[in-house]
């Protein structure tokens, strides 16, 4: 049976074939320390989630975005005179197809022809209902076209392609994504609406999403432990820098498009600046996870290919890989924000607003700060995660550095 000499373990003989990656990791002092740090972060995350888990939404239902809706099938469409002379408005006749009032006929006026979407007979739409409407008043209101089916099919196609291309890893990645979305919708959003501090909630939710993603996709390994520690530190750094940046730039969240909606939903007591900062933290999480895991895996791969390298050499080789990846990731982050702001950029250009005036307004200043803070956190994650992994890699047995896909779930 093969054995090897482990210099880091004081010259003790170790059984290579009987020790799995996890046992080998825990057999070293460095591995136990990093595991303890990650476990402490996980425990703190779980405790904070339990303490802040919302028992009940304190907000009153708002009709700002149309409220609850039911499906209806369009029977006919027409253009009717309305408003100024010559103006025509779209009018629909639809049959309610679900709910207690199924079968009701609703006559809906959408608005001026040039400002509303064309809807063909046979299309499914969503309508709001007002059961308290007096006799003769409009009981139904047009909300939007029903596009739930194509969206669901698109999600299913995404999941299938992910599993086919990445196989087992793709399957766990999809499961992790679904769990993360569920966590955001069942914890993060309700907790903020229930009055919990948005920044604290976002950090805790971000840490929980990180552990779910790393656990399902990469398992418990040296790579995932190093990545988790690096991500946790960088999330806290992004939170601190984001808070300082918002305060210094006097960005209070009131320039956002949803300020009026939140006010109508009776959640005006919530810190809008906190919500902006929470969005920055969650927005940076995805690219942070990708970058940290890539760095940890790169360092481990270099260590496996050349076990004689020390911390300094491992750091240099890993950082070289990360530097190239970092430039592309920052570009991706910036383009993602620019893409979401494209309609606003078009409006500003059409209004002949100068670049300095445009950036001075909260509508552009907030995403600009978010982009910069996210990029700073990214740049910090590369050297930090690389250094953590390099220190760990030279102090644990070689069998603890199994490839990122060689773990068990």
Q: How are beta strands 124-129 and 140-145 bridged, if at all?
A: antiparallel
Q: Give the pair of three-digit tokens for residue 290.
A: 């990708």
Binned at pLDDT 50, 70 and 90, residue 56 comes out as: low
The 3-state DSSP class for residue 242 equals helix
More confident residue, 135 or 369: 369
What's the pLDDT score for residue 404?
47
Q: Which residues pair with 106 in a beta bridge?
A: 94
Highest mean pLDDT out of 113-117, 255-259, 355-359: 113-117
What's the pLDDT score for residue 390?
87
More confident residue, 297 or 7: 297
Domains and CATH numbers, the chain: 3-54+158-401 (no CATH), 69-146 (2.40.50)
Among the listed residues 223, 68, 368, 303, the one whose alpha carbon sits nearest the alpha carbon of residue 213: 223
What does pTM read for this prediction?
0.71
Tell me the DSSP string of 98-150. Answer: SSTTTT-EEEEEEEEGGGS----TT-EEEEEE-TTPPTTS--EEEEEE--HHH
Helix (H) or strand (E) holding 3: strand 3-6
- Kindly report, residue by residue over 68-127, the tens digit of the pLDDT: 788 888 998 888 888 777 788 888 899 988 888 888 888 888 888 877 888 888 888 888
What's the pLDDT score for residue 21?
66
């Amino acid at each position: 049976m093969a054995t090897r000499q482990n210099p880091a373990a004081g010259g003790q003989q170790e059984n290579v074939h009987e020790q799995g990656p996890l046992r080998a990791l825990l057999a070293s002092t460095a591995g136990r320390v990093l595991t303890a740090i990650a476990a402490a972060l996980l425990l703190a995350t779980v405790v904070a989630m339990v303490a802040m888990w919302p028992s009940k939404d304190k907000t009153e239902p708002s009709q700002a975005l149309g409220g609850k809706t039911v499906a209806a099938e369009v029977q006919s469409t027409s253009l009717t005179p309305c408003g100024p002379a010559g103006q025509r408005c779209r009018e629909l006749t639809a049959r309610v197809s679900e709910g207690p009032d199924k079968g009701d006929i609703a006559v809906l006026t959408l608005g001026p022809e040039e400002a509303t979407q064309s809807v063909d007979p046979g299309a499914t739409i969503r309508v709001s209902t007002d059961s308290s409407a007096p006799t003769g008043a409009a009981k139904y209101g047009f909300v939007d076209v029903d596009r739930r089916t194509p969206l669901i099919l698109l999600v299913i196609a995404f999941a299938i392609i992910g599993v086919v291309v990445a196989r087992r890893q793709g399957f766990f990645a999809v499961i992790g994504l679904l769990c993360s979305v569920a966590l955001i919708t069942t914890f993060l959003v309700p907790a903020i609406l229930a009055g919990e501090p948005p920044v604290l909630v976002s950090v805790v939710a971000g840490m929980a999403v990180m552990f779910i993603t790393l656990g399902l996709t990469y398992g418990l390994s040296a790579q995932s432990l190093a990545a988790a520690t690096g991500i946790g530190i960088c999330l806290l750094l992004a939170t601190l820098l984001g808070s300082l940046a918002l305060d210094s730039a006097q960005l209070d969240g009131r320039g956002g498009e949803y300020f009026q909606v939140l006010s109508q939903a009776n959640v005006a007591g919530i810190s809008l600046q906190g919500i902006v900062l929470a969005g920055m933290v969650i927005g940076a999480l995805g690219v942070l996870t990708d970058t940290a895991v890539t760095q940890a895996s790169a360092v481990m791969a270099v260590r496996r290919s050349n076990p004689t390298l020390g911390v300094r050499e491992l750091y240099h080789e890993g950082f070289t890989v990360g530097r190239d990846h970092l430039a592309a990731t920052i570009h991706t982050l910036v383009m993602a924000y620019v893409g979401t702001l494209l309609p606003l950029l078009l409006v500003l250009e059409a209004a002949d607003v100068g670049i300095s005036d445009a950036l001075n307004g909260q509508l552009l200043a907030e995403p600009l700060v978010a982009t910069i803070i996210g990029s700073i956190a990214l740049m910090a994650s590369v050297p930090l995660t690389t250094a953590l992994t390099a220190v760990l890699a030279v102090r644990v047995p070689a069998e603890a550095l199994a490839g990122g896909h060689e773990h068990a779930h």
